[in-house]
Amino acid sequence: MSGMRLTTSRVLALATSVLVGCSVSDSATPTSPARTRASFAQAASTEFGYLGATGPSFWGGLDPAWFACGSGPIQSPVDLSGNLVRSRSHDKDLNFDYGSSTTGEIFNNGHTIEIETEGENVLTIDGVAYSLTQFHFHSPSEHTIDGVGRDMELHLVHTSATGATAVVAVFLDRGATSGALSPIFDQLPNDVSVHHELNAPFDVRAFLTEIVPNAQYIGSLTTPPCTEGVHWVVLLSPATVTTEHLAQFHERIHFNARPVQRSLP
């Protein structure tokens, strides 16, 4: 079955640097897709946390390769101004070409629940194609709007052929249903660093809420090594997650949100 395509020629956008073909910024060094995936694995296997002496305030000093966590000028997450989100727009071509049948492996990497995906799921921004490699969760949300966060945030991580990274963020509020994410939450693993094949294929497109309005900006990974040059697309219409599923996540991952690093603009 062919993938579903959504196109928006008008999207709400925020930018902290000039986007040229949505490539990584001058401060970032492009890496291969394999190396980008490895960078997340490195973060999971290195000692860091969200509280105390290994918390976000200290990440930049825990490993020389993580210097950007402490001194990078365009770090994420950010606080988005609601007034600015509503008043500014750019002609950015944003296309989601997601297949309806994706498979994956789920595992607890010690810092989040991550699902590595296999399937044809492509996000195109200004003509640059980014393929979905994995998605994971943060609770509470990392991005905020006018200082207000949400119960959870889903990050869909995409990589281009040149190694550039684009992340789609979806807010999740407590609600009556977890929607298309229910089968994912129903299979949260009890062990750590053990990959489990998901029981059935899933439709990643169904995880997304309304594409417009959204906020776009250039930032960084929100975990070490905090690599900059990441193109963020934050969907502003939240999805929902049940209290039960949120509690099950918290039983495994107690708190995993990096504090806001800056405000836009």
User: What Rg value do the Cα atoms of the chain yield, rounded?
Assistant: 17
Q: Are 169 and 232 in contact (CB under 8 A)?
A: yes
Q: Which two tokens stand for residue 250?
A: 């918290």
Determine the Cα–Cα distance for residues 61 and 146; give it in Å rounded to an integer.
Answer: 30
User: Judging by beta carbons within 10 Å of its beta carbon (0-12, 13-18, 19+), is residue 77 exposed, middle or buried?
Assistant: buried
Catalytic residue among 90, 111, 136, 155: 111
Phi, psi for residue 153 in degrees, rounded to 5: -140, 130
Determine the Cα–Cα distance for residues 18 and 38; give it in Å rounded to an integer.
Answer: 28
Our answer to whether residue 111 is catalytic in this structure is yes
Determine the Cα–Cα distance for residues 73 and 17; give it in Å rounded to an integer.
Answer: 11
Contacts of 45 (CB under 8 A, 6+ apart): none
CA angle centred on 219, ends 35 and 133, rounded to 5°: 35
For 130, the enclosing helix (H) or strand (E) is strand 128-138
- 158 forms bridges with which residues in the sheet? 132, 166
CB atoms within 10 A of CB 216: 20
Q: Are 70 and 61 in contact (CB under 8 A)?
A: yes
Active site residues: 111
